[in-house]
Amino acid sequence: MLVKNIMLPKEKLITVSPKSTIGHALEVMNENKFLSIPVAEGEKFYGTISKDRIYEFYYEKCEDKQCFLSDFNVEVVMREDIPTILPMEQMEKAVHFLEIMNISFVAVIDNKGAFEGILTHHAVFEQFTSLFGLNKGQRLAVMAYDIPGQISKLSKILSENNADIISFVVVDPKSVIDVMEIVVRMRTDNFELIEEKVKEAGFKIV
């Protein structure tokens, strides 16, 4: 799935500029119940400011709270190493960044360097929920040997027994043997019959 299809466009974001005061940034985060927000101005993306980074900086550098809130700007505290991704790139690249870098979002920048929006953990989780078809239809999970033809074989059983497939996901269980888990969500009035046919075909239902 392309990043542009699930990102939050900048028009829907609440941001602060690098020259905003720390006090203003905290006020914005508190009003909107955010833990962090993008730092951007116009088409330029600078980084992110977060509550934990503000608190850490305050306890390390300052004694006067009011002075800190009013005299220090966001650019002094913001995190700048936020990875960027193009709108037409695949979501998987952004997921990799989210996983390894302990960040709230990945910034989406077009090929001219203009800020387009962000891709968040929440957006990714929503897509995985949709992909697995959670809370829709009936769930069938089987273990199969990781050999050619298994997916086609299972799909044929489902179609021959009038199953309306909602989602079809193959998962690597990281087993010591070459097996895969196939999770299917379907609408059917023949679920028990399908289970029997699947077992007869050599699949193990889990």
Domain residue spans of the chain: 3-128, 133-205
Q: How far apart are CA 14 and CA 148, in angstroms?
A: 49
**pLDDT value of position 18:** 97
Q: At the fourth CATH level, which superfamily is domain 3-128?
A: CBS-domain (3.10.580.10)
**pLDDT value of position 107:** 96
Q: How far apart are CA 30 and CA 84, in angstroms?
A: 26
Instruction: Report residue 125 as tokens.
Output: 């989780």
- Is the CA virtual torsion 66, 69, 71, 72 positive or negative? positive
The answer to whether 33 and 85 have CB atoms below 8 angstroms apart is: no
Q: How far apart are CA 19 and CA 29, in angstroms?
A: 16
Q: Name which CATH class applies to 133-205.
A: alpha beta
pLDDT tens digits, the chain, 206 residues: what are they? 789 989 999 999 999 999 999 999 999 999 999 999 999 999 999 999 999 988 888 777 666 677 677 878 999 999 999 999 999 998 888 888 888 888 999 999 999 999 999 999 888 877 776 666 566 788 899 988 878 888 899 999 999 999 998 888 887 666 556 788 888 888 999 899 999 999 999 999 98
Which of 113, 126, 98 lies closest to 5, judged by CA?
Answer: 126
Q: Which pTM does this prediction carry?
A: 0.68
